Amino acid sequence: MINQNLMAPPAQAVVPSGNRFVMRGVHLLRAYAQADRQSVRRLAREYLQAAELHRNSPNYGNAVHQANTVLGLLELENGNLPQAEEHLVASALIPSSPQLAGMGPNMMLAKRLLEHGRISPVLDYLTYCGKLWKLSFGRLWKWKFEIRRGRTPNFGANLTYLLDPKSFG
């Protein structure tokens, strides 16, 4: 269960609105890391709603990417493959961010869908990611090539980018 004290800043502190927005992502990732699935689903939906209020934030793309990735992972855990695929695609149909442009998107949901034989949505996802990840240096192309050959690529650090609460926020 999430410590409710982590959910809001101390009463005496004045936290700028943008920082509260980013902290929502940190709380979501902490809940996900702690396997608090009920809180995760609620926090992810709240994060998506907050993102709509912060469309001009440089963290908007991160928020939508993270929330949809986490929701997709939850759907996959529940055996809801079509919904997981929808969240995968939604996580990439966003404006880029400094983090997405440099480090790239998270590939955990894509990898798990590949493990379930869902090749087409993952290839679509990787194509959409080409607009987000300006510094992929050919990795997206290489990963698509590997998938078309029936292999699961080594996604490396992209399995943790933007999903590790210690590296975000």
Range(s) of the domain holding residue 155: 16-167
Residue 10 vs residue 80, higher pLDDT: 80
Q: What is the mean pLDDT of residues 62-88?
A: 97
Residue 42 lies in a domain: yes
| Coil, helix or strand at residue 155 | coil
Instruction: State residue 1's pLDDT score.
Output: 38
Q: What is the mean pLDDT of residues 57-76?
A: 95
Residue 148 lies in a domain: yes
Instruction: Quote the number of domains for the chain.
Output: 1
Residue 149 lies in a domain: yes
Instruction: State residue 36's pLDDT score.
Output: 84
Residue 20 vs residue 83, higher pLDDT: 83
Q: What is the mean pLDDT of residues 109-127?
A: 97
Please enumerate, as own/partner, the contacts of 76-80 that have beta carbons within 8 Å and a separation of 24 or more. Answer: 76/109, 76/112, 76/113, 76/116, 77/37
Geometric angle at alpha carbon 49, from 48 and 53, rounded to 5°? 110
Instruction: State residue 128's pLDDT score.
Output: 97
Whether the pLDDT of residue 7 is over 60: the answer is no
The phi, psi pair for 36, rounded to 5°, reads -90, 80
Residue 37 lies in a domain: yes
**Measured between alpha carbons, how far is 110 from 126 in angstroms, rounded to an integer?**
9
Q: What is the mean pLDDT of residues 15-23?
A: 68
Instruction: State residue 63's pLDDT score.
Output: 95
Instruction: State residue 70's pLDDT score.
Output: 96
Residue 11 lies in a domain: no
Instruction: State residue 62's pLDDT score.
Output: 93
**Measured between alpha carbons, how far is 29 from 41 in angstroms, rounded to an integer?**
11
- Give residue 163's pLDDT band: very low, low, confident or very high (50, 70, 90): confident
Residue 6 lies in a domain: no
- Give residue 131's pLDDT band: very low, low, confident or very high (50, 70, 90): very high
Instruction: State residue 3's pLDDT score.
Output: 38
Mean confidence (pLDDT) of the chain: 87
Residue 130 lies in a domain: yes
Instruction: State residue 18's pLDDT score.
Output: 55
Residue 1 lies in a domain: no
